[in-house]
Amino acid sequence: MTKQQKISAKIKQKALELGFISCGFSKVEFLEKEAVYLENWLKKDYNGKMSYMSNHFDKRLNPALLVDGAKSVISVLLNYYPNKDLFKDKGLKISKYAYGTDYHFVLKHKLKDLLKFIISEVGDVNARVFTDSAPVMDKVWAEKSGLGWQGKNGMLISKQKGSFFFVGEIILDVELEYDNPTENHCGTCTKCIDACPTNAITKANVIDGSKCISYLTIELKDEIIPKAYQNKMEGWIYGCDICQDVCPWNRFSKPHSIPEFNPHPELSNTEWTELTEEIFREIFKNSAVKRTKYKGLKRNISFVKQT
């Protein structure tokens, strides 16, 4: 076994010990195919009012511009699938990923622990951890690392684990034993396309983000949601799980074992129409739901209740 193979095996083992459900490696390179895709996606305004998606265009396509001397991308998956769908039979719903502590904190902490381990094994390295808060095409690198494929709904999907997981990366200047991409196993299935109430999935792997319920309830900061989406929200007031819930591969999803992702004990008992700012701060003080702020969540509740 070569030196690269040994350290690669150790990193994957440590990743599992830290609670990640998968870990894979890909070689840093310029994302030529994705450059064309991203340019066309932006030209069609599929990013809606997410103006930040057009920032740092070159950095999104070349990790070497984010980390000097970058050679490898370590991609990891962290499961968040809950023991129970808290809002399955309720009129107002929030996405499963937001039940517990904001994933940015949890994922970053675990990635930093993994990086500390790498440093202990190979010495000082030039590296950065990424948790969906920087211009990195995380699903592309996870796909290249063999952790899954990007489905027709734009989600990374694993045959063994479904798609209810977070994706994170470490970009570093260390050569590793690289993994091979897996095949796309969506086939002729169109369940996610058929189920999307706002027609946000325009065709295979092309998502009109400006129509997505997650965009409308989280990213869109306007005082009102466009009337065109009345009667189409299907109860979602923060995020949306429709395309994942109908995906056949998610029959393989298993409940997570991350304590931080367990829901606040009062989450499922919340009377949304009577939500006060004090209750909002208590239940969502460590949650990703804080992104909408109290005013934004009340806007969403009001809009959905009108439909």
pLDDT tens by residue, the chain, 307 residues:
898 999 999 999 999 999 999 999 999 999 999 989 889 888 988 888 887 787 888 999 999 999 999 999 999 999 999 999 999 989 999 999 999 999 999 999 999 999 999 999 999 999 999 998 788 999 999 999 999 999 999 999 999 999 999 999 999 999 999 999 999 999 999 999 999 999 999 875 689 999 999 999 999 999 999 999 999 999 999 999 999 999 999 999 999 999 999 999 999 989 999 999 999 999 999 999 999 999 999 999 999 987 6
- Whether residues 247 and 118 share a domain: the answer is no
- Whether residues 147 and 74 share a domain: the answer is yes
Residue 89 lies in a domain: no
Residue 123 lies in a domain: yes
Residue 105 lies in a domain: yes
Residue 45 lies in a domain: yes
Contact 247, 163 (CB under 8 A): yes
pLDDT at 47: 86
Rounded Cα gap, residues 256 and 219, in angstroms: 26
Last residue of a domain, one of 107, 139, 172: 172
Last residue of a domain, one of 172, 199, 225: 172
Q: Please name which of 298, 268, 264, 297 lies closest in space to residue 282, comparing C-alpha atoms.
A: 264
Contact 72, 26 (CB under 8 A): yes
Tell me the pTM: 0.95
**Structure-token pair, residue 235:** 């109860």
Count of C-beta atoms within a 10 Å radius of residue 83: 11
Residue 72 lies in a domain: yes
- Whether residues 213 and 123 share a domain: the answer is no
Tell me how many domains the chain contains: 2
- Whether residues 152 and 234 share a domain: the answer is no
Q: Please name which of 6, 2, 132 lies closest in space to residue 75, comparing C-alpha atoms.
A: 132
Rounded Cα gap, residues 7 and 202, in angstroms: 42
- Whether residues 168 and 222 share a domain: the answer is no
Whole domain around residue 275: which residue ranges? 191-254+263-306
Q: How far is CA 180 from the centre of its chain?
A: 22
pLDDT at 94: 97
Last residue of a domain, one of 144, 172, 200: 172
- Whether residues 155 and 56 share a domain: the answer is yes
- Whether residues 10 and 142 share a domain: the answer is yes
Rounded Cα gap, residues 293 and 307, in angstroms: 22
- Whether residues 289 and 235 share a domain: the answer is yes
Decide if 132 is catalytic: yes
pLDDT at 192: 96
In 162-287, beta strands by DSSP E: 165-172, 201-203, 206-207, 236-238
Place of tokens 């109908």: 246
- Whether residues 30 and 152 share a domain: the answer is yes
Candidate list 85, 132, 173, 245, residue with the active-site label: 132
Residue 158 lies in a domain: yes
Residue 180 lies in a domain: no
- Whether residues 130 and 28 share a domain: the answer is yes
- Whether residues 112 and 46 share a domain: the answer is yes
Residue 179 lies in a domain: no
The tally of CA atoms less than 13 A away on the side-chain side of residue 305 is: 10
Q: How far is CA 7 from the centre of its chain?
A: 27
- Whether residues 165 and 216 share a domain: the answer is no
The tally of CA atoms less than 13 A away on the side-chain side of residue 184 is: 13
